[in-house]
Structure 1
């Protein structure tokens, strides 16, 4: 069986004008993930990211050689657009600026999105799940034995939920657990695709790296 190792991007710039950049911590998390994989002798023979800068920069900081392929199906859903659609363009300041309020509200909003509650969202739930599946098919249509993918929490949550045949809401329950630069591992062969590890952070499992942990 071949392996698909999906890494969530490092910490991004929450609350900043441009969220799609890594923070200093995000760069260090990504470098630690790459270093740990090399220490374990796990070197990918195919690299794939979405088209977001925080995904590309995570892979760059991981330090592997090779040219990465890109697939837009690995991009995160547009949470800012979903909040805009829910609040008719007037998102409360507390939702935008307070982490706890933001993620609690986002969880509720995604549940509504899954029920097609928003007529003017840029992407429907069905379109999101279809592009994630297209990205999975793209990444696993290969002779490579070790495929490294860098994506985002919502996509990873959906990959895991779909692989388990879980209800739609489970995607968001998983999404909110996923740590920055965490590793989720699948095995694949032909039409077979199964989860073998979720949300692992062995690269933080030492006293000198424990402070690298973050969720958003």
Structure 2
């Protein structure tokens, strides 16, 4: 049996030139989560991350709290986020983008939701990655992580986790983005692999956040 613990990366740098870098708060979130997981008795037998910097930096903080070596993590591209900027380029090719897309959070997440739904429906010409390919690589990452036994801990991104959760509970494809937009930074989703299928046993958990650490709650 395999227990799969999948963590969304900590707060990245929204609105900055390079989003793929944790903020100072993001580093604090990852360390706090590692300590909280250690208190729960989490002892991963394997570590996995996607290829993005925010995945690695998040795992480094979590591993510090757990007393593990993040350098032992295996890397799988299936845990990467989809290319939202590339999807925007394809969707708005030849026309103006909405104002304040990358600076106003309300606008950003409204456009994200609309863009993902159009992508799933095949309404975006020449996307950087077809929806079917995105789904296939998430499945490939899941299969790779479930090949062993014991407890597996992985760091990924909201879209990839949303897709994994939606498929596990057999939700319609359009539910993926609605799940994605709920997932907090450093939130934990848990799965158990049975003999014939994967079961979702926890979603969007934040064991590191309480009354004294409410400032650690972020979504982007």
Q: Which residue of 2 aligns with 1:158?
A: 163
Q: TM-score under structure 2 normalisation?
A: 0.94
Q: Conserved in 1, the CA contact under 8 Å of 2:188 and 2:205?
A: yes
Are 1:185 and 2:165 counterparts? no
Q: 2:178 is matched with which residue?
A: 173
Q: 1:91 Cα shift?
A: 2.7
Count how many residue pairs are aligned between Structure 1 and Structure 2.
214
Residue 72 of structure 1: CA displacement?
0.2
Q: Measure, in 2, the Cα distance between the counterparts of 1:190 and 1:133.
A: 17
**Matching of residue 35 in structure 1 with residue 35 in structure 2:** yes
Q: Secondary structure at the match of 1:129?
A: helix
CA deviation vs aligned residue, 1:187-213 (integer Å, no higher than 9, x gap): 0134321100000112102x2211100
Q: 1:2 Cα shift?
A: 2.4
Match of 1:107 in 2: 113
> How much does 1:49 deviate?
0.4
**Is the CA contact 2:184–2:217 (under 8 Å) kept in the aligned structure 1?**
yes
| Aligned-residue CA RMSD (Å) | 1.2
Which residue pairs with 1:58 in the alignment?
58
CA contact (8 A) 2:49 2:154 kept: yes
CA deviation vs aligned residue, 1:122-151 (integer Å, no higher than 9, x gap): 1011110000000000111112x1100100
For 1:91-121, what per-residue CA distance to the aligned partner results, in whole angstroms no more than 9, with x for missing partners? 3332122111010111011000001111221
Distance 2:124 2:189 in 1: 31
In the superposition, the TM-score normalised over structure 1's length comes to 0.96
User: Structure 1 stretches of 5 or more lacking a match?
Assistant: none
Q: Paired residue for 2:45?
A: 45
1:215 and 2:219 correspond: yes
Aligned match of 1:136: 142
On the 8 A contact 2:37/2:207 being kept in 1, the answer is no
The C-alpha deviation readout for 1:138-192, integer Å capped at 9, x for no partner, is: 111112x110010000011001000011100000110000000000000013432
Q: Return the alpha-carbon distance in structure 2 between the equivalents of residues 91 and 68 of structure 1.
A: 38
Give the aligned partner of residue 74 of structure 2.
69
Partner of 1:119: 125
In 2, Cα distance between the equivalents of 1:140 and 1:156? 15
**Segment drifting more, 87-96 vs 100-109:** 87-96
Provide the rounded CA distance (Å) in 2 between the counterparts of 1:189 and 1:71. Answer: 23
Once residues 59 and 183 of structure 2 are traced to their aligned partners in structure 1, the CA distance between those partners, rounded to angstroms, is 17
Q: Structure 2: 5+ residue runs without aligned partners?
A: none
